[in-house]
Amino acid sequence: MKRLTCPILLIVFLVLSAAAQDWMDARRRVPLAVKETLYVSSGESLKRASIGFDGLMADIYWIRTLLYFGEQFERQRGVNQQFDASQLELLEPLLNITIELDPRYIAAYRFGAVFLPEINSESAVRFVERGIRNNPGEWRLYQDLGFVQWRRNRFREAADAYARGSRLPGAPAWMRTMPALMLVKGGDRETAREMFLRLYRESDDPFIKQISEAQLKMLDQYRER
């Protein structure tokens, strides 16, 4: 047992030392450090090499992702005062490595849901759906998927994402109103009206009743026109 303990402690020390060094050197050499990490083919390769320290490696890559994002943000703002996330070519690979190391890294999925649509909307949908498969009980990821689909003008898909998330434990009341709102946006007003009417009749939540009543009045005005 003692023979095994020393090598393991040495490995832990080396890994932690590398992480600390990254923190100290990050501002000085962010672009080089990020590009060097991408010589690794995938997070799965790193996972096998991390000998059980997957979570620590995921944290390191998450930090590198944020440092890369921050460096690119400052660089763009310094040049033209306008930030364009579509130019962040290394963002998706870094996020993918992070979640391959730790499939339950919710912060990485949520960050990707905000910025990846600017790079590739289809990839953004796949990325968030991957998060849902790995974390099916996390209602916030369904919210994020609905947000991504809404940005793509895929209102029925957005409504479906919000509906699935609204049924999960811990989901807030407003999630239940989002499917109908998405259908209104997409022009399916009759279906939306039925959903709001059902919510108004069945819910005991004053907030839901208030939102539903307001939307029903608006939809009735459309009918009259």
Bigger pLDDT: 2 vs 164? 164
Confidence at residue 183, expressed as pLDDT on a 0 to 100 scale = 92
Residue 11 — very low, low, confident or very high, per pLDDT cuts 50/70/90? very low
Give the tens place of pLDDT for each residue, 134-143: 999 999 999 9
For residue 29, being part of any structural domain is answered with yes
**What is the DSSP annotation of 122-174?**
HHHHHHHHHHHHH-TT-HHHHHHHHHHHHHTT-HHHHHHHHHHHHTSTT--GG
User: Does residue 39 belong to any structural domain of this protein?
Assistant: yes
Q: What digits encode the pLDDT tens for the residues 48-106? A: 555 555 778 889 889 999 999 988 888 888 876 678 888 899 999 999 999 998 999 99
What letters, b where the CB count within 10 A reaches 16 and e where it falls short, cover 78-108?
eeeeeeebeebebbbbbbbbbbbbbbebbeb
- Structure confidence by residue, pLDDT tens digits, 175-223: 999 999 999 988 888 888 888 888 888 777 787 788 888 889 888 887 7
The predicted pLDDT at position 75 comes to 87
Residue 124 included in any domain: no
Amino acid at 68: Y
Distance of CA 213 to the CA centre of its chain: 32
pLDDT for 44: 60
State yes or no: pLDDT of 30 exceeds 60. Answer: no
Give the model's pLDDT for residue 141.
Answer: 97
3-state DSSP helix/strand/coil percent for the chain, to nearest 5?
80, 0, 20
Q: Is the pLDDT of residue 31 over 60?
A: no
- The mean-pLDDT minimum among 67-76, 107-116, 164-173 falls in 67-76
pLDDT of residue 157: 96
pTM score of the predicted model: 0.74
- For the chain, the domain total comes to 1
What average pLDDT does this structure show over 108-116? 94
In a domain, 24, yes or no: yes
Residue 69 lies in a domain: yes
Q: Is residue 90 part of a domain?
A: yes
Task: Tell me whether residue 166 is in a domain.
Answer: no
Q: What local confidence, expressed as pLDDT, does residue 41 receive? A: 52
The two three-digit tokens of residue 196, written as one number? 């709001």
Any domain includes 15: no
d(CA 56, CA 15): 9
What pLDDT is stored for residue 43 in this prediction? 52
- Residue 111 lies in domain: 20-116
Average pLDDT (3-28) is 46
